[in-house]
C-alpha cells in the first residue's frame, strides 16, 4: 500500500532534481484477490506525503478505484507540490 512506499518516495524526493510521482496500489491482494486499503487510508497517507513536500504528482495503481482517486484528489487539493531543487549550472 501507500505507506510501504514512504521510505522510497522520501529518498527520491531528497535526491531527484525532477518531479516525483507516486502511484501506489491499494495494498497486496488478500486471499480472495481483493485489495484491503480503503480510499480514506490511502488518501490520508498520500496527504501526509504531500504535506511533507515529497510529491509533485499522485495517483493509484492496482486495487484502486474511482473512490480512491476521488479521496486522494480531495485530500491533496490546494496543497503545494514538491519544490524542485535549484540546479547550480555553474558547478
The predicted pLDDT at position 91 comes to 62
The predicted pLDDT at position 36 comes to 95
Which tens digits make up the pLDDT trace of 27-41?
Answer: 999 999 999 999 999
Cα 37–Cα 39–Cα 45 angle in degrees, nearest 5: 75
Q: What residues in the chain have per-residue pLDDT under 70?
A: 88-89, 91
Residues 6+ apart with CB under 8 A from 14: none
- Determine phi and psi for 85, rounding to 5 degrees: -65, 145
The predicted pLDDT at position 84 comes to 87
The predicted pLDDT at position 89 comes to 67
SS3 55: coil
The predicted pLDDT at position 86 comes to 77
pTM for this prediction? 0.86
Residues 6+ apart with CB under 8 A from 11: none
Plot region of 63 (φ>0 → left; ψ -120 to 50 → alpha; else → beta): left
Amino acid at each position: 500500500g501507500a505507506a510501504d512506499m514512504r521510505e522510497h518516495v522520501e529518498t527520491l524526493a531528497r535526491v531527484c532534481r525532477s518531479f516525483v510521482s507516486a502511484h501506489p496500489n491499494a495494498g497486496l491482494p488478500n486471499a480472495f484477490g481483493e485489495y484491503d486499503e480503503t480510499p480514506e487510508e490511502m488518501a490520508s497517507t498520500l496527504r501526509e506525503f504531500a504535506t511533507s513536500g515529497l510529491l509533485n504528482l499522485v495517483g493509484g495503481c492496482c486495487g484502486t478505484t474511482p473512490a480512491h482517486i476521488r479521496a486522494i484528489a480531495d485530500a491533496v487539493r490546494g496543497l503545494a507540490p514538491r519544490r524542485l531543487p535549484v540546479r547550480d549550472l555553474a558547478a
